[in-house]
Amino acid sequence: MIEDLKKAVKLFNRWQFQEAQDAFHQLAEEAEGRDRVFLEGIALIASGFYRIWHKGGEPNAMVSYLEKGMEVLKPFNGTFAGIKSEGVVPAIEACLEEAARWRRGDSEIFNRDHIPRLEFEAGDVD
Pick the CATH number of 2-120 from 3.30.70.260, 1.10.3450.10, 1.10.150.530, 3.40.190.10: 1.10.3450.10
Computed on alpha carbons and rounded to an integer, the radius of gyration of the chain in Å comes to 14
> Are the C-beta atoms of 48 and 86 separated by less than 8 Å?
no
d(C-alpha 73, C-alpha 44), whole Å:
10
pLDDT in tens, the chain (126 residues): 789 999 999 999 999 999 999 999 999 999 999 999 999 999 999 999 999 988 778 999 999 999 999 999 999 888 888 888 888 889 999 999 999 999 998 988 888 888 999 988 765 444
Distance CA 9, CA 121 (A): 11
Residue 55 CB neighbours (<10 A): 7
